């Protein structure tokens, strides 16, 4: 079992990163569990620090919730019949340092029979995601009491100035961890997500997934041919597009998984930035939120896309094979590359043509016209 901790100041992109890591790992055959941020859970349950409860008492509640959730999920993962299991933690034990300091943290750990070294050892890899307030201020969102806007997290009450200080203090709490990696805002958000994925896959010893893709229309293979590919995972994907008031923003929800591994739910926004560039922000949602989006915000002009996805490695490259129930003759094969000019060998499948730049084969187009016979 491999445990990844994502930490950092407020609004650093942890939710989007967790969603992306989970999907990338599951496509490589990993079983993934996610421990949600303990502080947010305690706050939304009604306990606000400095209001009806002291900060030290609040932090003790957060630490207990953190430890309980992690231990519960680790026990659950031990029951899973798989050799490839990952636990992703939204913050970790040492995050307490930012709020209580070294001495108080030491006392809190001792009270629970734990040393700081043992706390560090709970996580195989720690990624510190710098707050957007440090270098990407225009993207910082918070529950500003002077406005009715709550940002993307109603429990985030820190101003940009406070976020910078918490970011620094949080990092200090993790300095000394043997596998600490810093993910700053020196690139755009997409670049930041790419670096996070690279660090996780490097730590796991896996080939690093890339976002440069080439897409091919192929004859739909039978199950014997699919099984011969030696796939890493086979999952069902349901993708529904949502109504958007901004023509430059594409909104969608996705359910991914199968009966064996269970299902995960995602909300995604893609914004057109011009010159063929799109910014993608995605977060993991729960089943109830997914159902709410599905019932009240589905785009009536687009059909829900259903597909079976087979993910596999071939000749050192990562492939995805999408099988659509509305087409018995064709399927879509994608390969991830470092750049479009990179050489590769296609698996033994019947290739009809390359459709990398043909927008008719995008999922958004298929939702309007569900056919691969273009």
Per-residue pLDDT tens digits for 181-217: 889 898 888 889 999 999 999 888 877 665 577 899 9
What's the chain's average pLDDT? 86
What's the rounded Cα separation, in Å, for the pair 262 and 270? 26
Full-prediction pTM beyond 0.75? no
DSSP code for 49: B
What's the rounded Cα separation, in Å, for the pair 297 and 142? 25
pLDDT at 110 over 60: yes
pLDDT at 142 over 70: no
Q: Comparing 122-136, 265-279, 309-323, which segment has the lowest mean pLDDT? A: 265-279
H helix or E strand, kind and range, residue 263: strand 262-274
pLDDT at 149 over 60: no
pLDDT at 145: 53
pLDDT at 76 over 80: yes
Q: Comparing 48-57, 60-69, 191-200, 237-246, which segment has the lowest mean pLDDT? A: 48-57
Structural domains of the chain, ranges and CATH numbers in brackets: 2-204 (3.40.50.300), 212-366 (2.40.320.10)
247-256 b/e with 16+ CB inside 10 Å = b? eeebbbbbbb
pLDDT at 351: 95
Helix/strand/coil for 59: helix
Q: Comparing 46-55, 297-306, 347-356, which segment has the lowest mean pLDDT? A: 46-55
Residue with more model confidence, 306 or 176:
306
Q: What is the pLDDT of residues 296-325, one digit of tens each?
A: 999 999 999 999 988 877 887 778 899 999
> Which residue is listed with tokens 């609004």?
11
């Amino acid at each position: 079992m491999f445990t990844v901790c994502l930490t950092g100041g407020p609004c650093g992109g942890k939710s989007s990163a967790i969603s992306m890591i989970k999907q990338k790992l599951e496509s490589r055959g990993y079983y993934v569990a996610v421990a949600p941020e303990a502080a947010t859970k305690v706050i939304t349950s009604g306990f606000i620090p400095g209001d009806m409860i002291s900060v030290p008492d609040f932090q003790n509640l957060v630490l207990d919730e953190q430890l309980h959730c992690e231990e519960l999920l680790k026990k659950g993962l031990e029951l899973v019949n798989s050799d490839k299991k990952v636990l992703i933690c939204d913050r970790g034990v040492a995050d307490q340092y930012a709020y209580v300091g070294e001495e108080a943290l030491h006392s809190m750990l001792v009270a629970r029979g734990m040393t700081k070294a043992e706390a560090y050892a709970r996580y195989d890899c720690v990624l510190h995601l710098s707050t957007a307030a440090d270098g990407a201020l225009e993207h910082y969102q918070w529950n500003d009491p002077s406005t009715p806007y709550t940002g993307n997290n109603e429990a985030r009450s820190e101003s940009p100035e406070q976020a910078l200080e918490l970011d620094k203090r949080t990092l200090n709490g993790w300095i000394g961890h043997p596998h600490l990696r810093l993910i700053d805002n020196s690139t755009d958000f997409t670049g930041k997500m790419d670096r996070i994925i690279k660090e996780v896959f490097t730590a796991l010893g896996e080939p690093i997934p890339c976002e440069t893709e080439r897409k091919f229309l192929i004859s739909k293979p039978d199950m014997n041919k699919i099984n011969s590919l030696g796939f890493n995972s086979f999952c069902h994907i349901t993708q529904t597009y949502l109504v958007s008031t901004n023509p430059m923003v594409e909104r969608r929800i996705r359910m991914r998984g199968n009966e064996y591994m269970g299902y995960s739910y995602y909300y995604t926004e893609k914004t057109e930035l011009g010159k063929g560039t799109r910014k993608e922000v995605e977060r993991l949602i729960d089943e109830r939120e997914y159902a709410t989006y599905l019932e009240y915000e589905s785009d009536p002009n687009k059909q829900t896309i259903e597909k079976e996805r087979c993910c596999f490695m071939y000749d050192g490259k990562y492939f995805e094979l999408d099988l659509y129930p509305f087409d018995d003759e064709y399927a879509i094969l994608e390969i991830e590359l470092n750049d479009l000019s990179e050489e590769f060998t296609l698996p033994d499948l019947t290739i009809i043509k390359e459709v990398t730049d043909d927008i008719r084969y995008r999922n958004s187009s298929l939702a309007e016209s569900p056919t691969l016979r273009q």
